[in-house]
Every structure is written in structure tokens, then in C-alpha cells.
């Protein structure tokens, strides 16, 4: 009987002490209110250390992307700093998180339209620059950043194949012989029409002569995709 009483004693007494302690703490602590501490700018770990002495809980209510602020930093809280709060109540906080780094997709060999679709699906901005290159027009031949690199600003530059430019500066033909001029121009195009005094002449011209006037003027842009029409003034040699 004594042994049984002893067992009950060791079970009941600690339980009664716990209940008594809880009731006393509720009388002296439970009804007391504290100003809510300012947790903004510190980490969740530091916030828990700061509030534990007051028996105040800190709960993570969410995370938000905020460039320029360290990951895990508290950026808002509820209730606000200075508001009264009682022990065992909770402060809800939102912490900063960094966006997940995106890696540059591989655009090489894709058409410009395909590259745009790939970038749009990842919410990236694509800027393209045509470059003369012997591949089908609008094929991506280069990119920056290269494939697999992080792109925090989500901007990609792609270089696309384009036809070789046919725009040339018209050279100065003055004081050169007509034969020299025709030989020179035929290195760039065979589609040439030469006019003397508004009349088309046959090439080669039967008389030796030199150029004393020309249109287009020296320094003008000419497109050799089209027929090159030259108006000349000559004098016989």
C-alpha cells in the first residue's frame, strides 16, 4: 500500500506543481502587455531571440522578392512596432527572398521567332542585331550572355544572320579613263548602265576618254542589289 501511494505521489505532485506554476505565471505575466518590438531589418532567428524573453511568438506569414535587401531580412510585421501585445500572442512577419536565378537558354541555331517565343515564355527580354553571315536569314548565330549563364536583369542579346550588305560608297571616278572605271565597277556588279549625255552607251566604249563629271556623286551610297546607273561626262583622250 505504501509503495502504491509512493508511486502516485511522484506522479501527482509534479503535475500539481506544473498547474500551480502556470496559474501563477498567468496572474503575473499573462495579463501584462508589452509594446511590440520593431523586428524590421533583422532576421527571423534574431527576432525569435529578441521576443522569447517576453513569451511572444514570431510566425512567418510569407516571403516577398525585394532586390537590394539581404535574403531572410524581415521587411514587414503585424502588429506594427509600438502596438501593445500580450505574452503568447504572435507577431506575423514577412521576410525578403531573392528571386530564383534564371539561366540563359540556348538560342544558337534557332530562328528569331523561335528565340522570341523561348524568351517570352521565361519572361526574358530579347534584343536582336542582324549580322552579315552565310546562314539562312534571321538564324541566331550568337548570343550574350552565353547559354547557361545567370541573367539577373532578364535581358538577352542575340545576333542573327543577315544578307551581306549591298550598300557601297560611290568612289571618285573623275580623271580616270572610262575603261578603268568599267573594269573597277565590274568587280562589284555586272548590272551596270552607263549614260553619256542622257544616252546609254555600249560597253566597251569605242573611243578612249576620261571622266570629267559623274552621277551619283562621290561619297553617295549606292545599292548594288539594283541596277547601277551612272551618268558620266567625258572628254576624249
Report the run of H or E that residue 95 belongs to, with start and end. strand 90-97
Would you give per-residue pLDDT tens digits along the chain (237 residues)?
545 545 544 555 554 554 555 455 554 444 688 899 999 999 999 999 988 888 899 999 999 988 788 889 999 999 999 999 999 899 999 999 887 778 889 999 899 999 999 999 988 999 998 877 767 888 898 898 888 888 877 889 998 887 766 667 788 888 888 888 888 888 777 788 888 877 888 877 778 888 888 888 888 877 777 777 888 887 777
For domain 2-97, give the fold.
Trypsin Inhibitor V; Chain A (3.30.10)
- Give the pLDDT score at 63: 92
Render 148-174 in DSSP notation, one character per residue.
T-B-TT-EEEEEEEEPPP-EEEPP--T
pTM value?
Answer: 0.38
**Residue ranges, CATH 3.30.10.20, the chain:** 2-97
Q: Are the C-beta atoms of residues 216 and 193 closer than 8 Å to each other?
A: no
Cα dihedral 36, 37, 41, 44 sign? negative
Expressed in percent and rounded to 5, the helix, strand and coil fractions of the chain are: 25, 35, 40
- Give the pLDDT score at 74: 95
Q: Could you give the CA distance from residue 205 to residue 91 in angstroms, rounded to a whole number?
A: 97
- Give the pLDDT score at 23: 53
CB atoms within 10 A of CB 56: 20
3-state secondary structure of 189: coil
- Give the pLDDT score at 90: 93
- Give the pLDDT score at 218: 83
- Shortest CA distance to 154 belongs to which of 109, 129, 110, 118? 118
Q: Could you give the CA distance from residue 69 to residue 73 in angstroms, rounded to a whole number?
A: 7
CATH number of 167-236: 3.30.10
Our separate counts of H helices and E strands in the chain read 4, 14
Amino acid at each position: 500500500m505504501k509503495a502504491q501511494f509512493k508511486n502516485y505521489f511522484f506522479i501527482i505532485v509534479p503535475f500539481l506543481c506544473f498547474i500551480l506554476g502556470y496559474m501563477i505565471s498567468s496572474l503575473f505575466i499573462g495579463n501584462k502587455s508589452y509594446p511590440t518590438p520593431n523586428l524590421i531589418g533583422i532576421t527571423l532567428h534574431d527576432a525569435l531571440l529578441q521576443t522569447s524573453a517576453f513569451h511572444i511568438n514570431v510566425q512567418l506569414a510569407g516571403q516577398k522578392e525585394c532586390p537590394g535587401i539581404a535574403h531572410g531580412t524581415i521587411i514587414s510585421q503585424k502588429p506594427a512596432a509600438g502596438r501593445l501585445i500580450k505574452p503568447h500572442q504572435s507577431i506575423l512577419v514577412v521576410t525578403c527572398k531573392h528571386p530564383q536565378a534564371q539561366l540563359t537558354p540556348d538560342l544558337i541555331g534557332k530562328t528569331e521567332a523561335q528565340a522570341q517565343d523561348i524568351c517570352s515564355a521565361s519572361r526574358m527580354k530579347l534584343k536582336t542585331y542582324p549580322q552579315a553571315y552565310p546562314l539562312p536569314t534571321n538564324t541566331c548565330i550568337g548570343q550574350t550572355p552565353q547559354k547557361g549563364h545567370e541573367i539577373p536583369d532578364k535581358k538577352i542579346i542575340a545576333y542573327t544572320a543577315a544578307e551581306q550588305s549591298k550598300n557601297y560608297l560611290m568612289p571618285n571616278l573623275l580623271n580616270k579613263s572610262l575603261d578603268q572605271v568599267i573594269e573597277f565597277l565590274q568587280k562589284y556588279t555586272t548590272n551596270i548602265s552607263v549614260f553619256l549625255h542622257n544616252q546609254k552607251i555600249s560597253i566597251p566604249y569605242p573611243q578612249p576618254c576620261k571622266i570629267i563629271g559623274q552621277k551619283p556623286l562621290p561619297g553617295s551610297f549606292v545599292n548594288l542589289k539594283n541596277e547601277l546607273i551612272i551618268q558620266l561626262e567625258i572628254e576624249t583622250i
